[in-house]
Amino acid sequence: MFVDGLRCRECGRAYPAEALHVCEYCFGPLEVAYDYEAIAAATSRESIAAGPLSIWRYADLLPAHNDGAVDLGAGFTPLVRADRLAAELGLGELWIKNDTTNPTGSFKDRVVAVALARARELGFKVAACASTGNLANSVAAHAARAGMRHIVFVPADLEAGKIVMTSVYGPHLVAVDGSYDDVNRLCAELTSEHPTWAFVNVNLRTYYAEGSKTLAFETAEQLGWQAPDHVVVPVGSGSQLTKIAKGFEELRKVGLVEGGPAVRISGAQAMGCSPVAAAFTGHHDYVRPVKPATIAKSIAIGNPADGWYALDAVRSSGGALAAVSDEELVQGIKLLARTEGIFAETAGGVTIATLAKLAAEGVVRPDERVVAYVTGHGLKTIEAVAPAVAPPVTISPSLESFDEALGADFEEQP
């Protein structure tokens, strides 16, 4: 492992690589620091290619070892060339990073695998999290695999699929009557009360967040070790976007990808919870918290922990942030399914609808190589799209009945 320790993002103070997440001097967030010279000397495209087909092929750039105990095979998801979608949006080279194929159907498997591997190294026996759903699914599955006790906190109004996809692994599932921001606050208090619990996105957050860098690593490797020109990323807490930015930077730093213009990074939010997009369009230097009201529950975080850093990453890369309505995100889900055969959850619909909006505005351009991150499976949020799809045609089991109901109509279509 090439970890030098932890460092405060604000004041730069150094800390040991323990379960710490906040600077005790300035309350800034802590970040993992690496010895990039040593990584550059030890790591090559060939050594990575010889690694497992999972996030662990990039272990040299991650803050934990994989001893197999937690591993469900997170990562190395398909990067799909999306020509039919590109044609509809008036774009040129467009790719979808299809993270719906992860073990529990979302990108959260990347961050949880790293957080719980590190938690075990630090001696934790209990896994915990505050979740909008996908994280709950992933923590429960990975903890079950590792034989760790687990306790998971979610807002009580979560989609049914995400509740069952958590309960099936047998955790203590606690539904909190409040928003995700309420759940998160409660879990911050519980972390102080129960220092022996590894809350993956509270006291283990520094390690957890690093897992998202693998979304950048894989994209570059799958493009033949080239960075894309422009990526579009959904924004909830803002952590994923900032870590994708960090991932592309690190690849250049250790010489795996050649220099060139920085990757433009754009962010996608739902209008019913768009504090970061609002700060971008309002030219503010702060992110004002909001009360979420959107069906895109997995990114409905009104007070995003990394909101300011996401805003900064977007601005400094020359990208943009935009928000779409619930109706638009449902159309985004249907558009991606219809053109590329990928069924995304609501956050994926937000990403595709925002991509469409930014393409129409000329922010995402046809001369760019573009990657859109689709981070969760549609089966998790089936109630969002169910009212917007055509019901089946019901017939009796005879040719006559089929011809009468549908036959000629089907033939006529191209």
22 or 190: CB nearest Zn ion: 22
Query: Which CB, 32 or 227, lies closer to Zn ion?
Result: 32
Is there binding between residue 10 and Zn ion (CB under 5 A)? Answer: yes
CB of residue 33 vs Zn ion: minimum separation in angstroms?
13
Comparing CB distances to Zn ion, the nearer of 11 and 406 is 11
Q: Which is nearer to Zn ion, 6 or 111 (CB)?
A: 6
Q: Does 11 bind Zn ion (CB under 5 A)?
A: yes
Any contact of residue 24 with Zn ion (CB under 5 A)? Answer: no
Please report where in the chains the tokens 């990403």 appear, as a residue: 351
Nearer to Zn ion, 11 or 360 (CB): 11
**Separation of alpha carbons 18 and 45, rounded Å:** 30
Report the C-alpha gap between 229 and 3 in whole angstroms.
29
Quote the CA–CA distance of 194 and 30 in Å, as a whole number. Answer: 20
Of 4-12, 45-53, 185-193, 259-267, the window that binds Zn ion (rule: CB under 5 A) is: 4-12
Decide: is 409 part of the binding site for Zn ion (CB under 5 A): no
User: Residue 26 or 406: which CB sits closer to Zn ion?
Assistant: 26
Q: Which of 225, 268, 262 is nearest to 246 (CA)?
A: 262
Cβ at position 22, least distance to Zn ion in Å: 8
Q: Which of 23, 62, 202, 276 binds Zn ion (CB under 5 A)?
A: 23
Stretch that binds Zn ion, among 13-21, 62-70, 126-134, 390-398 (CB under 5 A): 13-21
The answer to whether 14 contacts Zn ion (rule: CB under 5 A) is: no
Contacts of 283 (CB under 8 A, 6+ apart): none
CB of 206 to Zn ion, least distance (A): 13
In angstroms, give the least distance from the CB of 12 to Zn ion. Answer: 7
What CA–CA distances, in Å, run from 101 to 128, 131, 169, 342, 365? 24, 20, 19, 10, 28
Told to check if 28 binds Zn ion by CB under 5 A, we report yes
Closer to Zn ion at the Cβ: 25 or 410? Answer: 25
Token digits of residue 159: 């989609």
Element (H, E) at 243: helix 239-253
d(CA 113, CA 103): 11
Region binding Zn ion by CB under 5 A among candidate stretches 10-18, 133-141, 240-248, 276-284: 10-18
Work out how close the CB of 132 gets to Zn ion at its nearest, in angstroms, rounded to a whole number. 28
Q: Shortest distance, CB of residue 359 to Zn ion, whole angstroms? A: 40
**Complex with Zn ion: residue 26 or 38, whichever CB lies closer:** 26
Closest approach, Cβ 14 to Zn ion, in A, equals: 10
CB atoms within 10 A of CB 200: 33
Is residue 411 exposed (0-12), middle (13-18) or buried (19+ Cβ within 10 Å)?
A: exposed
Min dist. Cβ of residue 29 to Zn ion (A): 9
Q: Indicate the residue among 8 and 350 with the shorter CB distance to Zn ion.
A: 8
DSSP string, 350-379: HHHHHHHHHHHTTSS-TTSEEEEEE-BBGG
Instruction: Give the angle subtended at the CA of 237 by the CAs of 236 and 241, to the nearest 5°.
Output: 80
Question: Which whole-number Å values give the CA distances from 377 to 55, 103, 162, 296, 365, in the listed order?
Answer: 19, 11, 11, 13, 27
Q: Verify binding: residue 26, Zn ion, rule CB under 5 A.
A: yes
Q: Give which of 241, 244, 306, 212 is closest to 21, Cα–Cα.
A: 306
- Provide the minimum distance between the beta carbon of 24 and Zn ion in the complex, in angstroms, as a whole number: 8
Contact status: 30 vs Zn ion (CB under 5 A):
no
CB of 275 to Zn ion, least distance (A): 24
For Zn ion, the closer CB: 25 or 286? 25
Please, what is the end-to-end C-alpha distance for the chain in angstroms?
56
**Using the rule CB under 5 A, which residue among 2, 6, 7, 8 binds Zn ion?**
8
Instruction: Tell me the DSSP string of 291-334.
Output: ----S-GGG--SS-TTHHHHHHHHHHHT--EEEE-HHHHHHHHH
Cα(315)–Cα(297) distance, integer angstroms: 25
Count of residues in contact with Zn ion, rule CB under 5 A: 8
Chain residues binding Zn ion by CB under 5 A are 8, 10-11, 13, 23, 25-26, 28
